[in-house]
Structure 1
């Protein structure tokens, strides 16, 4: 989509003064250019006067509120929700509390969730930071996803000691499809797990990514791995010459005037109370886990993810981004618009189509994006989403759904990990907040689709 600028119109006006008799500078031609200039702008979000304006039932949307509020009353910490359709904000609500505890002690006064509360996006960082950066670089011809990783990171290569080889021929597209051969979580931050790859220094960690051994032959399995996106973030930094946070904040978010989307918010003018809290006792899982420099206080405004915080200085391709529902809604609209918003083009429709297309191996995977490719994704997309719907989730309790078939976008952000563990010894990853429907997404997403009058 071409964006006409005022200088284009100005040039034609100037030509008309120099050669007023020229047929191609008649007044109607100037009007045509002005019309094109206006028509070429990408849609920007506006607020719907009422849900019925874009095909929703107000009464049925209130049932979504009831679902979440009932769970908050039963102990679910909090959530924020925004729904957009046809370029309109249909719903923008917050529920419950951004913080209820100081470690295990309940606060005398809970901190109320607000529409502008910052959330730790966890793995949604992969999409709205790393993927957006990659899509921009592909659109600009600066990145070839069919190229070998080695083309961008020369030190990424097989060694004689590698039991499983494949790095020398591994392509960027293989990493995007999560078929690169890496294990899900090498825990660079924890020497008990990472051994010789232990690192709590960002530069060293990036160096160690290339040395991380493959655990299966690339291209033979789909294994969702944080290492894939740590590597992709490093590729963005190699191409741009900038740290990932600087690049995405200046080249993606700033042009769109998104002031609440960033890495390391506490280093950029925000305070802990601006964010939704996560784990009660740092990264200890209620005291079960330990490693050097582990945080033991309630996390609020600091990225929860251990690799991102300890090993990557809070800035990584797989986690670390904070945002609000309204900012994320604009980024969803960018995807629905085919790559732009207002007067700004971030990437093109061709690139969007390439990144959301299903992989040959698994229809639930696009390039990074998760797709509603088969029944196995109903837990996230519900039963009503079209087979073109795509999105992503984050471990802290975040989900985004984009359904281009009906021009719909949903962002549900929760702080479900801001709760005690159910049984720390038996399962150090199951929090009380994980037990609720709101924290497993599908019920809320389903209720939103059911509120569409076309689903009555």
Structure 2
């Protein structure tokens, strides 16, 4: 499968999809911007059609109801996916569908089995109609992927292109790759990591040519082996936040001409005009060449009374389950201290978290909105990144959130769903350098959008030139792009892996995470772990786990040539 500038996918060899699109007069499919429509599934049995429901949920947030339990949410939803065999559409259901259509709701009839090319009697001609002739779970999954653009529709008269990730269920084509052999290699490396207590668990996800080749969870949340890791668990991304939150927002503001890379911090931030950082350009900051301090341990400066175990009117910044920081501490203490911090060796590459604190401040000043709501509105909700965001305890059950460190120095408890990075926690969990949480699937969506040079699901988020600019090498003194880390041309460093190549960009995270994107091979590699549980350990680095898994992927690709 090759990617073309038209931002559609062409499979080679072709993916077999027996789904036919029989009627779509408004060219609605595949579903586009997910923020513009609320979706619901109605079906005779949520159990019988669970495969369709679960597959559709990979793409969009939606509820599913059986015909016997239709709720008011159906009448409020803009798009209704009807998943059933033709014979299961009782007269009362047909009547309801006519009512929904008359109110302007979009009806998509996803027919399982059957051989008729016409709509069921009584339904209006503007209803969208897809059909897969078989009644297997694979057919259900293929039908769901066809609705959202995960599979191209090539059968019948009406064609549609692939616009989103394809989820390989073991029966779809893998383009000559020996996925089973690759998986065995990765399994062995993962087993070694867990046996050596480099991490209690992990998730590995690999996307090649727009198709998910591997998405696998290993181990447990903790070493007590009580809760197994699941592929949809949510991890603390640490510094991957830099490229999945702050940098894409700056890319968006650059592209919309709201920031200029060669303008200065002083130009955008009044508070910076009185500091030694007033003349530091945004480009320099993104390259980590501003001479900023790498890291400031703000928590060491706390005074008695700054943190307490219960929330109160004066202490509402939650650092953990039983730790609350006094209000405005970031604004009154931390940010001024960053602005007053010394500059050393400006022009040289010195990786600095302070750089991305500063870029967040720029983004929020320009947009006049917090980085979190802006990202949710502009990117995450539109593209289908359903778990990505800051402070996940406000949105998800605790058991979906992977614990990190048992913090015995600062917060004095196990961290679960609260950001591991101390500074980000003290910034109310929302920072430019850390604080973002996500599942592997969300990062795969984001990575594929970048591979597509700015488009996903039929929506353009960036111009191709913007993606090329920020992800390519932009420094004369380091390997860095703008915000993005990159392949190191010094092959002795084998970074990010021994077999990677100069097209590769991405980032790693302190908690044991990484995302690497390879345009040459149309590859996205995601590794998520909690290597800092129960306390910080370097075994993941010492055993070179992330890089060896990446090498196993490249070995598989090279063997298929």
TM-score range for the pair, normalised by the shorter chain length: 0.7 to 0.9
1:44 alignment partner in structure 2: 164
Q: How does 1:38-187 map to 2 (within 5 A)?
A: 43-48=163-168, 50=170, 53-57=174-178, 58-75=180-197, 76-100=199-223, 107=224, 109-159=225-275, 165=276, 167-187=277-297
Q: Report if the CA contact (8 A) 2:488-2:496 is conserved.
A: no
SS of structure 2 residue aligned to 1:381: coil
2:534 alignment partner in structure 1: 419
1:215 alignment partner in structure 2: 343
CA distance in 1, matches of 2:284, 2:159: 38
2:555 pairs with one of 434, 450, 456: 450
1:252 pairs with one of 365, 376, 379: 379
SS of structure 1 residue aligned to 2:271: coil
Task: Say what the alpha-carbon RMSD is for the aligned residues.
Answer: 2.9
Structure 1 unpaired stretches of 5+: 10-37, 101-106, 160-164, 421-428
Q: Report if the CA contact (8 A) 1:155-1:210 is conserved.
A: no
How many Å apart are 1:86 and its aligned residue?
0.5
How many Å apart are 1:215 and its aligned residue?
2.9
2:471 alignment partner in structure 1: 356
Point out the structure with max Rg over C-alpha: 2
How many Å apart are 1:39 and its aligned residue?
10
CA distance in 2, matches of 1:153, 1:455: 52
Q: How does 1:195-206 map to 2 (within 5 A)?
A: 201-204=329-332
CA distance in 2, matches of 1:173, 1:377: 28
SS of structure 1 residue aligned to 2:289: coil
CA distance in 1, matches of 2:160, 2:252: 19
2:498 alignment partner in structure 1: 383
1:301 pairs with one of 404, 409, 417: 417
CA distance in 2, matches of 1:88, 1:134: 28
How many Å apart are 1:431 and its aligned residue?
4.9
1:271 pairs with one of 397, 418, 440: 397
Aligned residues: 387
Change over 3 Å in CA distance of 1:232–1:41 after alignment to 2:
farther
Q: Give the structure with the larger helix fraction.
A: 1
2:360 alignment partner in structure 1: 233
Q: Report if the CA contact (8 A) 2:163-2:458 is conserved.
A: no
Offset from partner CA, 1:226-257 (integer Å, 9 cap, x none): 00000001111111111111111221100012
How many Å apart are 1:272 and its aligned residue?
2.2
1:332 pairs with one of 437, 447, 451: 447
CA distance in 1, matches of 2:262, 2:190: 44
CA distance in 2, matches of 1:452, 1:89: 14
Q: Report if the CA contact (8 A) 2:294-2:351 is conserved.
A: yes
Q: Report if the CA contact (8 A) 1:417-1:434 is conserved.
A: no
Offset from partner CA, 1:108-146 (integer Å, 9 cap, x none): x52110001100000000000001111111122222111
Q: Report if the CA contact (8 A) 2:193-2:540 is conserved.
A: no
Instruction: Tell me if 1:317 matches 2:432.
Output: yes
SS of structure 2 residue aligned to 1:79: strand
How many Å apart are 1:66 and its aligned residue?
2.0
CA distance in 1, matches of 2:506, 2:264: 26
Q: Report if the CA contact (8 A) 1:45-1:330 is conserved.
A: yes
How many Å apart are 1:383 and its aligned residue?
2.0
How many Å apart are 1:407 and its aligned residue?
0.5
- Greater Cα offset, 147-156 or 373-382: 373-382
1:26 alignment partner in structure 2: none
Instruction: Tell me if 1:365 matches 2:480.
Output: yes
Q: Report if the CA contact (8 A) 2:176-2:560 is conserved.
A: no
CA distance in 2, matches of 1:235, 1:39: 45
Offset from partner CA, 1:409-449 (integer Å, 9 cap, x none): 100001111134xxxxxxxx5455554432xx111111111
CA distance in 2, matches of 1:7, 1:307: 50
How many Å apart are 1:389 and its aligned residue?
0.6
CA distance in 1, matches of 2:274, 2:27: 52
Structure 2 unpaired stretches of 5+: 8-24, 29-157, 304-324
Offset from partner CA, 1:293-338 (integer Å, 9 cap, x none): x21111111110000002x000001000000111100000011011
CA distance in 2, matches of 1:360, 1:453: 30
CA distance in 2, matches of 1:316, 1:46: 33
Q: Report if the CA contact (8 A) 1:121-1:320 is conserved.
A: yes
Q: Report if the CA contact (8 A) 2:497-2:550 is conserved.
A: yes
Change over 3 Å in CA distance of 1:141–1:363 after alignment to 2:
same
CA distance in 2, matches of 1:248, 1:205: 26
CA distance in 1, matches of 2:492, 2:333: 33
Instruction: Tell me if 1:191 matches 2:312.
Output: no
